Chains A and B, each alone.
Chain A
Amino acid sequence: MTAAAPPHVGRRSIRGGGKARLRALTPYLLMAPALLFIAYFLFWPALGAFGVAFQTASGQWTLANFQSLVRDTDFGLSVRNTFLLLAIIIPVEFAVALGMAVLAQSRLRGRGFFLYVWSFPLAISDLAAGLVWLSIFTSHGYLNSALQSLHLIQHPIGFLNYDNLPGLVLAVVAAETWRSISLVMVVIMSGIQAIPADLGEAAEILGAGAWRRFTKVTVPLLKPTLQVGLMLRTTTAFQVFAVVLALTGSGLPVLATRTETWAYGARNYQMAAAYAVLLLLLSSLATMAYLTTLRTPRGVFQR
């Protein structure tokens, strides 16, 4: 967004100091309500979470919440599962989304239709995605039905059984990828569109084939976009919640479902906040890792 020249500055400033001062204040007065609102309902509570996590219910500063956190039965599991999902989902999603973005850019016929279908999950909630894939992965669901009809299995596989970790992970990865790959695709497409077309043409004239143009021109110039996309997507992947809940119940505990269990089920806000603070710290660490390993001159989350 570029700054438009203020159309009226100077013209009426002859009328005197009071009015001119008011005019100088106008943009601040226009911005203030929105920014204060965001600060109060988003930034302030984010800080407040630390207060809740480091205090007892009666308001004394303590580390006890974190001591109970690491003793929580599902603590280790929820950390492991969150990272496990992240480590599978992010690479798969970015690889496929990169392909989708390139496909959508190559002048295929029916491009509008493809783009529409590929982007509709942008408007789907994680809960809906979980429920959609539940119909596929239940023991009498469509995946087992299809496999059985093709005589590939004799008995239905319990993908979502408590003790079937690969099955649970497969289901969550499928649903979460299906839901969020559109976002990654759109992010990457906006980056590809910002690459000057003549660079690719120049490479073509110099004899580079499609694959070489992709790896030597497109991908390097996409690095800033990929960095921002990775940070954005990793932050949301750390918060994976309703997909896991809808598909696995409590079979695959992750950080966000543990937070909800302590807040909603147990009404223990200190424990819930401790989980949330841990989640924020881990996702901040990941963001910093991306910033240092994929260093570019752009600012964080800069458009």
Chain B
Amino acid sequence: MSTAVATRAAAVPGRRVEPGRLLLYGCAVLVTLFMLTPVYLIALAAFSPPQAIFDYPHPLVPVGLSLENIQFFLTYQGIGPALLRSLAVGALTVVISLALGCPAGYALARYWFSGKDLAQLMLVNVRAIPMVIISIPLLVTFLEWNLYDTVASVALVHAAITLPLTILISASVFLRVPSELEEAAMSLGTSRVGAVLRVVLPNSVPGLATAALFAFVTSWNEVFVAVILTLRGPTLPAALVQQLAASPLAFRFAGGLCLTIPAFVFIFFMRPYLFNAFGVGGK
């Protein structure tokens, strides 16, 4: 170990660091600071003692750690139920999105059929539809159906928003399962449905889990539709929007932090699929 370090250190002076590369590192560090500083500051604000909000100028380093703001936010009237509702909407979104999306993804991965290109074009184009425009007619529809202000109404729309991505991800996942495996299972006597259930699905779990995570995150983060479609039973972002004007700063900072932290976990697991999901160049 120590000898390896020593030889490495000895090797460095021989290899001059080009100024150009140093500049690249400088830029990379700058961008990283731009990304992380706001997260540090919101954490600082959220974990400060409540009275520190009124100190000015704020110290830019932590002076005291307090969970009071976070506690105030989480126990604020309506926030707990809203959090649970957000989880329920997210879970329901994942279920609907996977239940409808996996068969469609399987069709794209395993069959050629006329109209396939058109279907794919439609799926990719869906993200051009503004949420702002669909929410008003949907509000009217759900009022008629007596589904306004329910977990189900928000989850239905979130499922529709996430479906295209679920289909495209699941299709790419199924493509990676060799169709020979399926044929082998079928030659051993199971039906095509049996082969899908016993061979294809078990081999697709990690990929489908990512699709599920994408759907959940989209639902968890969606604000506009949730605000329009709920009133007394808002999701967490909708509840925050409802309280924005009336709530103290400490509440908003704690809420901001609580909404930000899960992103670090989500992206950690989603990293391998980022280009699949958001990339548009490629093939």
List chain A positions with a Cβ less than 8 A from chain B. Answer: 1-8, 24, 26-28, 30-31, 33-35, 37-38, 40-46, 48-49, 51-52, 96, 99-100, 103, 106, 108, 110, 114-128, 130-136, 138, 140-142, 144-146, 148-149, 156, 178, 183, 186-187, 189-194, 210, 222, 224-225, 228-229, 231-232, 235, 238-239, 241-242, 245-246, 249, 255-256, 259-260, 263-264, 269, 272-273, 275-277, 279-280, 283, 287, 299-303
List chain B positions with a Cβ less than 8 A from chain A. Answer: 20, 24-25, 27-28, 31-32, 34-36, 38-39, 41-42, 44-45, 53-60, 96, 100-101, 103-104, 106-113, 115-116, 119-141, 156-157, 159-161, 163-164, 167-168, 171-172, 175, 179, 182-183, 186, 192, 217, 220-224, 227-228, 237, 240-241, 244-245, 249, 252-253, 255-257, 259-260, 262-264, 266-268, 270-271, 274-275, 278-283
Closest to B172 in A: A1
Residues of A within 8 A of B279 (CB): 186-187, 189-191, 303
Of B44, B56, B136, B267, the contact of A272 (CB 8 Å cutoff): B136
Tell me whether B124 and A142 are in contact (CB under 8 A): no
CA separation between A156 and B54, bound complex, in Å?
13
Q: Is the interface of A mostly helix, strand, loop or mixed?
A: helix
CA separation between A187 and B69, bound complex, in Å?
37
Separation in Å of the A117 CB from the closest CB of chain B? 5
CA separation between A123 and B220, bound complex, in Å?
9
- 15 A-B pairs besides A33-B104, A41-B157 with CB distance below 8 A are A28-B113, A31-B103, A31-B119, A45-B141, A117-B32, A119-B271, A120-B263, A125-B237, A131-B253, A131-B256, A135-B41, A146-B57, A273-B136, A279-B130, A279-B133
CA separation between A94 and B119, bound complex, in Å?
30
Closest to B253 in A: A135
Of B41, B58, B134, the contact of A49 (CB 8 Å cutoff): B134
Interchain pairs with CB closer than 8 A, number: 353
Closest to A114 in B: B28
CA separation between A249 and B247, bound complex, in Å?
12
Tell me whether A241 and B223 are in contact (CB under 8 A): yes
CA separation between A31 and B102, bound complex, in Å?
9
Residues of B within 8 A of A124 (CB): 221, 259-260, 263
CA separation between A84 and B123, bound complex, in Å?
31
Separation in Å of the B194 CB from the closest CB of chain A? 14
Tell me whether B256 and A239 are in contact (CB under 8 A): no
Are A4 and B109 also in contact (CB < 8 A) when A34-B104, A303-B124 are? yes
Residues of B within 8 A of A40 (CB): 160
